[in-house]
Amino acid sequence: MASDNNSPSLEILVRRPEECSLWTGPPFENGQPNIKLDKVICLNAKFSDDGSLLMVVKSNSVITIYDCKTAKEIRSFQVPNLVASVLSPRGTYLQTFQKPSGPQDKNVTLWKIETGDSIYQHSQKNMTRANWPAIQFSSDEATACRVPTNEVQFFDTGDFSKGVVCRLRVPGVASAELSISPASHVAAFVPESKGVPASVQIFACGDASQTQPMARRSFFRCSTTQLKWNHGSTGLLIVVQSDVDKTNQSYYGESKLYYLTTDGVHEGLVPLRKEGPIHDAQWSNSGSEFAVVYGFMPAKATLFDKKCRPLLELGTGPYNTIRWNPKGKFLCLAGFGNLPGDMVFWDYVERKQLASTKAEWSVSSEWSPDGCYFMTATTAPRLQVDNGIKIFHYNGSLYFKQMFDKLYQADWKPESPSKFGDITELIKSLDSIKLEDKKPSGQGPKPTQVSTKASSANPTAQKPAAYRPPHAKTAAAIQAELLGESSAESLSKNALRNKKKREKQKEKKAAADASS
């Protein structure tokens, strides 16, 4: 597929046991990717959010930084007893967490990559998913903050030697999330304590004079939250999870979805039309709409605008994942993890379903930055067998497949979607591709067949049949036979064949009796 000459090329990071590589493409020449960086010693690897740098952890004490344009090493850091590390969004800083040797040991360090110097340090007892990275940066690195006891602290990102320049008092705060772009607001989560319900509060960044939040919502039966800002920093989705479901309908607890706006206009539940858990909730790249997959299986999927009004129903099915195309127009609705891997591709602008296919046992999934390809990966340690990568076209047809004895990671190199042309221009060369059963050259077994559906302006999803266990099917066949039912749907093939034999035997016997 040809793209704008000024557009960056797509690249994929592939990490296997003790080494990683960097592929160029798709598109792939002769059906195989070219290797830009090959067999680098690696325990872990991660791109900066803008795709300018690649961080490779080579051991528990060595971190190497690569320039993604040249694939050349530009800096190496010696960090003994390394536990975790992360790049800032624009690749200006490297943040590391070391195993502390004492209670006052300053084990969180911020390094300036350009010079290799340590510019800030503080102590942190432990590392969890909620408190790492310890220092959060906005996407443009204009704002940085951390969450110690009872407050949110802000830094001057131009000069960390100043230390904390602003302290926002939030008693009991456990975690915080900066808004994406612009970094004008911060959402703070306060867990339940001594009978006081949990809450999420929204504040303006760097304003220590605030005594009341701009928006607030309290929650009963709340164990954890996921905070999801939209682009534009006008809305916040809050997935509230409780470890216990009071209705006893779910072993995994109870979840609710709330929506808060920074102007305080909306502070309440998202109006969902089916009971059950929240499987996934994601904002579109524009920040003007969001999608939710929810409810007991078969789950339901709905698109909402930023005023929380339903825009489009995507039907029901075995789904728990939604992925928006970064260039707009398309999205993928899928069921991964413990589900069988069904995927449905939608043109949500035209409000029509493009195709459906499968990617069984997928652990990770994401659109390419140009919006033309969708990649799924089956990786260890989640799954120890059938590890591999599948890449699909925007319309659901399988483009590439490769299997591995062991695969730990497969990530697109991040790029701003604005660097690529209009999505309708980018896919022109793909419009002639027929959705049919194909076998990619040199690649494993025959891929899953993609089914194309003729769609109206807003197709109605077929209601899936209720699950019937094998013993129930057998019982239904026996009951049909005893009651003399003639419907072929009620009988298995063997039962129907035996029934026909018995009927013929009865006819022969009746004819013999009549002749005698």
Question: pLDDT tens across 176-216, in order?
Answer: 999 988 889 999 999 998 888 999 999 998 777 777 888 99
In the predicted structure, residue 269 carries a pLDDT above the cut 80: yes
Largest CA distance in the chain: 114
Three-class secondary structure of residue 214 per DSSP: coil
Domains of the chain: which residue ranges?
138-269, 275-420
Please report which confidence band the pLDDT of residue 511 belongs to, taking 50, 70 and 90 as the band edges.
Answer: confident
DSSP 8-state code for residue 506: H
In the predicted structure, residue 426 carries a pLDDT above the cut 60: yes
State the Cα–Cα distance between residues 504 and 484, nearest whole angstrom.
15
pLDDT digit string (tens) for 290-341? 999 999 999 999 999 988 999 999 999 999 999 999 988 899 999 998 899 9
175 closest CA partner among 213, 230, 136: 136
Give the least confident one: 92-106, 138-152, 251-265, 298-312. 251-265
pLDDT at 510: 74
Give the least confident one: 131-140, 201-210, 423-432. 423-432
Residues contacting 510, CB < 8 A, separation 6+:
none
- The DSSP string of 337-381 is TTS--EEEEEETTTTEEEEEEE-TT--EEEE-TTSSEEEEEE-TT
Three-class secondary structure of residue 257 per DSSP: strand
Three-class secondary structure of residue 493 per DSSP: helix
pLDDT at 300: 96
Other CB atoms within a 10 A radius of the CB of residue 246 amount to 10
Cα dihedral sign for 39, 40, 46, 49? negative
The number of angstroms, rounded, from the C-alpha of 384 to the middle of its chain's C-alpha atoms is 21
State the Cα–Cα distance between residues 216 and 189, nearest whole angstrom.
10
pLDDT at 375: 97
Bigger pLDDT: 459 vs 237: 237
| pTM of the predicted structure, to 2 decimals | 0.79
DSSP 8-state code for residue 196: B
pLDDT at 264: 81
Residue 166: CA count within 13 A, CB half-sphere: 15
Residue 226 is which amino acid? Answer: Q
Cα dihedral sign for 348, 354, 360, 364? negative
Backbone phi, psi, residue 465, to 5°: -70, 145
State the Cα–Cα distance between residues 82 and 108, nearest whole angstrom.
10
How wide is the angle at C-alpha 215 spanned by C-alphas 210 and 217, nearest 5°?
Answer: 125
Residues contacting 107, CB < 8 A, separation 6+:
97, 98, 99, 100, 101, 123, 124
Highest averaged pLDDT of the listed ranges 220-229, 287-296, 446-455: 287-296
Residues contacting 70, CB < 8 A, separation 6+:
none
State the Cα–Cα distance between residues 426 and 35, nearest whole angstrom.
24
Please report which confidence band the pLDDT of residue 5 belongs to, taking 50, 70 and 90 as the band edges.
Answer: low
Bigger pLDDT: 481 vs 58: 58
pLDDT digit string (tens) for 73-122? 999 999 999 999 999 999 999 999 999 888 788 999 999 999 999 999 99
Q: Which fold has domain 138-269?
A: Methylamine Dehydrogenase; Chain H (2.130.10)
In the predicted structure, residue 451 carries a pLDDT above the cut 60: no
pLDDT at 460: 42
In the predicted structure, residue 255 carries a pLDDT above the cut 60: yes
Please report which confidence band the pLDDT of residue 491 belongs to, taking 50, 70 and 90 as the band edges.
Answer: very low
Share of the chain above pLDDT 70, in %: 83
Three-class secondary structure assignment of 135-179: CEECCCCCCEEECCCCEEEEECCCCHHHCEEEEEECCCCCEEEEC
State the Cα–Cα distance between residues 450 and 230, nearest whole angstrom.
33
Please report which confidence band the pLDDT of residue 458 belongs to, taking 50, 70 and 90 as the band edges.
Answer: very low
In the predicted structure, residue 492 carries a pLDDT above the cut 90: no
Q: What is the mean pLDDT of residues 431-455?
A: 41
Residues of 192-219 as b/e, b for ≥16 C-beta within 10 angstroms? Answer: beeeeebbbbbbebbeeeeeebbbbbeb
pLDDT at 466: 53
Domain 275-420 has CATH 2.130.10.10: yes
Residues contacting 355, CB < 8 A, separation 6+:
344, 345, 395, 396, 397, 435, 450, 451, 452, 453
Cα dihedral sign for 302, 305, 309, 312? negative
Residues contacting 127, CB < 8 A, separation 6+:
83, 84, 97, 134
Please report which confidence band the pLDDT of residue 516 belongs to, taking 50, 70 and 90 as the band edges.
Answer: low
pLDDT digit string (tens) for 357-395? 999 999 999 999 999 999 999 999 999 999 999 999 998
Q: What is the dihedral of CA 377, 378, 379, 385, to 10 degrees?
A: -150
User: What is the residue-averaged pLDDT of the chain?
Assistant: 84
Bigger pLDDT: 297 vs 498: 297
State the Cα–Cα distance between residues 246 and 226, nearest whole angstrom.
21
Fold match flag (138-269 vs 275-420) = yes
Q: What is the dihedral of CA 283, 289, 429, 37, to 10 degrees?
A: -10
pLDDT digit string (tens) for 41-71? 999 999 999 999 999 999 989 999 999 999 9
